[in-house]
Amino acid sequence: MATIAPSRRVRRTPFSAGVEAAGVKGYTVYNRMLLPTVFESITADYRHLKDHVQVWDVAVERQVEVRGPDAARLMQMLTPRDLRGMLPGQCYYVPMVDETGGMLNDPVAVKLAEDRYWISIADSDLLLWVKAVALGFRLDVLVDEPDVSPLAVQGPKADDLMARVFGEEIRHVRFFRFGWFDFQGRSLAIARSGYSKQGGFEIYVDGTDIGMPLWDALFAAGEDLGVRAGCPNLIERIEGGLLSYGNDMTRDNTPHEAGLGKFCNTHTAVGCIGRDALLRVAKEGPVQQIRPIAIGGDIPPCDRVWPLMAGGKRVGQVTSAARSPDFGVNVAIGMVRMTHWDAGTVLEVETPDGMRPATVQDKFWI
Amino acid sequence: MATIAPSRRVRRTPFSAGVEAAGVKGYTVYNRMLLPTVFESITADYRHLKDHVQVWDVAVERQVEVRGPDAARLMQMLTPRDLRGMLPGQCYYVPMVDETGGMLNDPVAVKLAEDRYWISIADSDLLLWVKAVALGFRLDVLVDEPDVSPLAVQGPKADDLMARVFGEEIRHVRFFRFGWFDFQGRSLAIARSGYSKQGGFEIYVDGTDIGMPLWDALFAAGEDLGVRAGCPNLIERIEGGLLSYGNDMTRDNTPHEAGLGKFCNTHTAVGCIGRDALLRVAKEGPVQQIRPIAIGGDIPPCDRVWPLMAGGKRVGQVTSAARSPDFGVNVAIGMVRMTHWDAGTVLEVETPDGMRPATVQDKFWI
């Protein structure tokens, strides 16, 4: 693969100096910002993530801040998940949809106060959608991108490392909750969350100026824990069934197709822009859906849609795939039509290197 | 610089196979799609572009299609440029702004019919903004991204090459006009436009399936013209003063700051969402503005904002810079405060490699 060209448009992050010093070997671009993809090797990074603790520059999870008297109303317009029970201090995974029920993003919403939210976004300029919705519906709300950059601490030793920097209290933060913790005199929201299944936290670093001081503090405190710079790991996230917006689902898909029906309360989410469209889907069910897929043989990196075939007919597609050392198989995420989505169904997948056997699994590798 | 990781999310284009076969050495990501940045070397590509003819994969210029009875009204809501005189067959460079006059994109609008436009976008998900505006203001219009991918033919021999593939009639297409031309039985819009000052065309390739056939036809027809695969060239576009959204201006800037006041008819662009905010700017003038800057000494690649300093005070920033072989100087684009924007003003620019002398120019290098 070719190298990535330097330009201001592909934004650096508050942690880029640390990432470079740690010897980053690969990047992707996510929300027009650099996201590391590999340090030692994807396999070595994977092993280390499952055994130790890593610090991840996930500043690409940009925040859309929604603030003002109509903040709660606007948030409910964006998602079919019922937000009425959401309390300050909670994080919700919220599929966001357009008026046809097509997914625009799958962010985590962070409720800071009754009238203030951060939407921690996946890879699309959701800010433009939210701003225009606020404008078009004349809502009394401010929408902007603040200087807030998430830094994740992930892996089985994440609690130990975080306790050394933020105090023992951090251990009591529950899953998808956040608390306020002090660093160099600044109060930071820290949530128990992250894009891995190995446990850990996301620190919402409020201000570019404290990015590198916090990075350095975590590495200084974690030396004997074997802390390393890491990043979302392709193999581990596929094993864990963590979807990637733009890879595994796009604007073409409903949340139900993405297997996110459990995050949709279509009947009670009154005000959601896509509600009418999704009421029908919720009733009939989707005709295709995300499934874990095991692929045999050798496979190249998955950089495009790989058609899933049955008897010469296309019945779906694979969009993420990688060799799993722990499970001894190629783990993959695909979208499969209902005629062929039952666990155990044997299909063929068309990779650029040729056809490979593919089997629908009943669950992800967790 | 590190390599770019393969994933479906960073989309390939209909021309990727051709780009790879031509030996692309560097990419950037633009509108979540691969954009080549270098083939032989940036300097060699520059020389060739100025002397011969190149075929550019600019599929990243995604189209936002706007169609229906309210299409013209919606288009005028998006931009402060007065579109009343725009005819089918014309292309307009249209700054697009939010309700504060902040730039959201600087696309080329292509008027296909009275009720149908393509917006050929720079690097932001303008689709989400346009969709939400249409929704919020209840406009009777369809907004979507069609399977249309621009392929540019640029350089002094572009007319000759294009005439061989599309016929002599192509020579009569005027600047920022387009006509309909046939390729393998399909009618394609071809405009005299492109992101260089060397002349040429942009072909709106309607359908992924004819991407590689057209690519191959252009190379077959142009062998004796020395046709090569190319891409927007960093040096040439800075020399020519072609701005890059996300580099030289962002949502923080008004069109007037970007030097695009001549494309704003703020008094007559009735209906434009940002009109109220821009009326004030149009009256008072901006306090900072884009300027060509010549930088002395050796400079690194510009991958972040470089502050422009005068007497220890920050008076602006450089956001694009490169060594120009033809002009024997580092050509650059910066935003300078009015106190220091007069041509001939000598400043200092803070690069990661140290301070360099910088002089405000009266015009770009054309």
Contact call for A128 and B125, based on CB within 8 A: yes
A336 burial type by CB count under 10 A (0-12 exposed, 13-18 middle, 19+ buried): buried
Check if the beta carbon of residue A242 is closer than 8 Å to that of residue A58: no
Contact call for A133 and B128, based on CB within 8 A: no
Closest CA to B160 of B187, B188, B203, B199: B199
- Does residue B136 sit in helix, strand or coil? helix
Superfamily of domain A16-61+147-238: Probable tRNA modification gtpase trme; domain 1 (3.30.1360.120)
- Determine if residue B225 is left, alpha or beta; phi over 0 gives left, psi from -120 to 50 gives alpha, anything else beta: alpha
What are A230's strand-pairing partners? A56
Q: Which fold has domain B63-144?
A: Alpha-Beta Plaits (3.30.70)
What pLDDT does residue B282 have?
87
Residue count (chain B): 366
DSSP state of A91: E
Residue B95 has pLDDT above 80, yes or no: yes
Mean pLDDT over the full length of chain B: 97
pLDDT in tens, A32-50: 999 999 999 999 999 999 9
B172 near A CB under 8 A: no
Instruction: Look up residue B44 and give its amino acid.
Output: A
Average confidence (pLDDT) over B72-91: 98
CA distance A160 to chain B (A): 31
What pLDDT does residue B1 have?
57
B265 near A CB under 8 A: no
C-alpha to C-alpha distance for A37 and A141, rounded to whole angstroms:
36
CB-nearest partner of B104 from A128, A133, A320: A128
Chain A residues 190-249 within an 8 A CB cutoff of chain B: 244-247
Helix (H) or strand (E) holding A351: strand A346-351
- Helices A158-166 and A211-221, packing angle to 10 deg: 120
What pLDDT does residue B253 have?
98
| Contact residues, chain A, for B129 at CB < 8 Å | 128-129, 131-132
Strands (E), B241-343: 288-295, 306-310, 313-324, 329-337
Other CB atoms within a 10 A radius of the CB of residue A84 amount to 10
What pLDDT does residue A1 have?
57
Check if the beta carbon of residue A12 is closer than 8 Å to that of residue B304: yes
Query: Would you list which residues of B are annotated within the binding site?
Result: 202
CA distance B171 to chain A (A): 35
CB-nearest partner of A8 from B9, B30, B304: B304
Superfamily of domain A287-366: Aminomethyltransferase beta-barrel domains (2.40.30.110)
A350 burial type by CB count under 10 A (0-12 exposed, 13-18 middle, 19+ buried): middle
C-alpha to C-alpha distance for B199 and B192, rounded to whole angstroms:
8
- Does residue B135 sit in helix, strand or coil? helix
CB-nearest partner of A9 from B131, B133, B244: B244
| Contact residues, chain A, for B301 at CB < 8 Å | 6
The ipTM (two decimal places) reads: 0.97
Band (pLDDT 50/70/90 cuts) for residue B313 is very high
| Contact residues, chain A, for B306 at CB < 8 Å | none
Helix (H) or strand (E) holding B106: none
Sheet with strand A63-67: strands edge to edge: A91-93, A108-113, A116-120, A63-67, A142-144
What separation in angstroms does the CA of A247 have from each of A40, A51, A95, A323, B37? 24, 27, 15, 17, 24
Suggest the residue from B74, B97, B129 to mutate for an interface test with chain A (most A CBs closer than 10 A): B129
What pLDDT does residue B2 have?
74
| Contact residues, chain B, for A12 at CB < 8 Å | 303-304
pLDDT in tens, A170-205: 999 999 999 999 999 999 999 999 999 999 999 999
| Contact residues, chain A, for B10 at CB < 8 Å | 28-29, 303
B253 near A CB under 8 A: no
A129 near B CB under 8 A: yes
Check if the beta carbon of residue B337 is closer than 8 Å to that of residue B242: no
Tokens 């709660």 belong to A72
- As a 3-state breakdown, chain A gives helix, strand, coil percent values, each rounded to 5, of 25, 35, 40
Query: Would you list which residues of A are annotated within the binding site for substrate?
Result: 202
Contact call for A124 and B125, based on CB within 8 A: yes
- Please work out, in degrees rounded to the nearest 5, the angle formed at the alpha carbon of residue B30 by the alpha carbons of B25 and B32: 110
Q: Least CA distance to B246: which residue of chain A?
A: A9
What does CATH list as the number for A63-132?
3.30.70.1400
* Same-fold call for A16-61+147-238 versus A63-132: no
C-alpha to C-alpha distance for B348 and B224, rounded to whole angstroms:
47
Q: Least CA distance to B244: which residue of chain A?
A: A9
User: For chain A, which ranges sit under pLDDT 50?
Assistant: none
CB-nearest partner of B10 from A29, A38, A132: A29
Average confidence (pLDDT) over B29-48: 98
Contact call for A247 and B9, based on CB within 8 A: yes
Closest CA to A234 of A303, A308, A316, A291: A303
Return the percentage of chain B with pLDDT > 90, whole number: 97
pLDDT in tens, B97-141: 999 999 999 999 999 999 999 999 999 999 999 999 999 999 999
Domain positions in chain A are: 16-61+147-238, 63-132, 287-366
- Helices B126-136 and B71-78, packing angle to 10 deg: 120
Closest CA to B131 of B51, B204, B67, B196: B67
Contact call for A8 and B319, based on CB within 8 A: yes
Query: Would you list which residues of B are annotated within the binding site for substrate?
Result: 202
Helix segments in A79-231, DSSP class H: 126-136, 158-166, 211-221
- As a 3-state breakdown, chain B gives helix, strand, coil percent values, each rounded to 5, of 25, 35, 40
Contact call for B8 and A247, based on CB within 8 A: yes
